[in-house]
Amino acid sequence: MIELTTTLLMLASAFSPATVKAVADAKDNRAASVKADMTIEQAISPNHPLTSVSVEAYVRDYFVSDPILAEIARCESTFRQFDSRGQVVRGEVNKGDIGIMQINKYYHEEDAVKLGFDIYTFDGNLGYAKWLYAKYGDAPWGSSSKCWNKYREIASR
């Protein structure tokens, strides 16, 4: 977010001082309206043109040590924790699958809660997925492996 704002300010400075002030004011207003505990998805307006790119970049950075998890997120939810109505994304085949990583609540919610993860939140879903992967590898997402397995070699580079 900071890099984007800095880039916009640099671009704006090439045009006019009034533009620079407008961008700076917008940044200040935006910063004041964003709560410190918000996730990236909550902080970026759903209508913002960089929303999906920003969420994907965040997920890829979050899973930098296990990049196959980012490919799993792409296949499972197209990098979405929430749908267009602001509801948590549910599985199409199994409505018990929750969020960006499609964590199945019937198998995993109890353990997730014990570990301090809320799979209904963006950060909790990603955090539990990281824990799940460390414990079981990619087996919990085996049913979607046809989609993401072809990216295994690319993801590991």
From first to last of the 157 residues of the chain, give the pLDDT tens digit: 444 444 433 434 433 344 334 434 444 444 433 344 445 555 444 555 445 568 899 999 999 999 999 999 999 999 999 988 889 999 999 999 999 999 999 999 999 999 999 999 999 999 999 999 999 999 999 999 999 988 776 655 5
Which residue, among 120, 87, 41, has the nearest Cα to 128 in the 3D structure? 120
β-strand pairing of 97-98 with 103-104 = antiparallel
φ, ψ at 50 (rounded to 5°): -100, 5
Output the DSSP codes for 130-143.
HHHHHHHTTGGGGG
Q: Tokens standing for 79?
A: 């990098």
Q: Tokens standing for 56?
A: 């994907």
Q: Tokens standing for 142?
A: 């085996």
CA distance 71 to 152: 8
Q: Are 92 and 31 in contact (CB under 8 A)?
A: no
pTM for the structure as a whole: 0.66
CA distance 15 to 7: 13
- Report the phi/psi class of residue 83: left, alpha or beta, with left for phi > 0 and alpha for psi in -120 to 50: beta
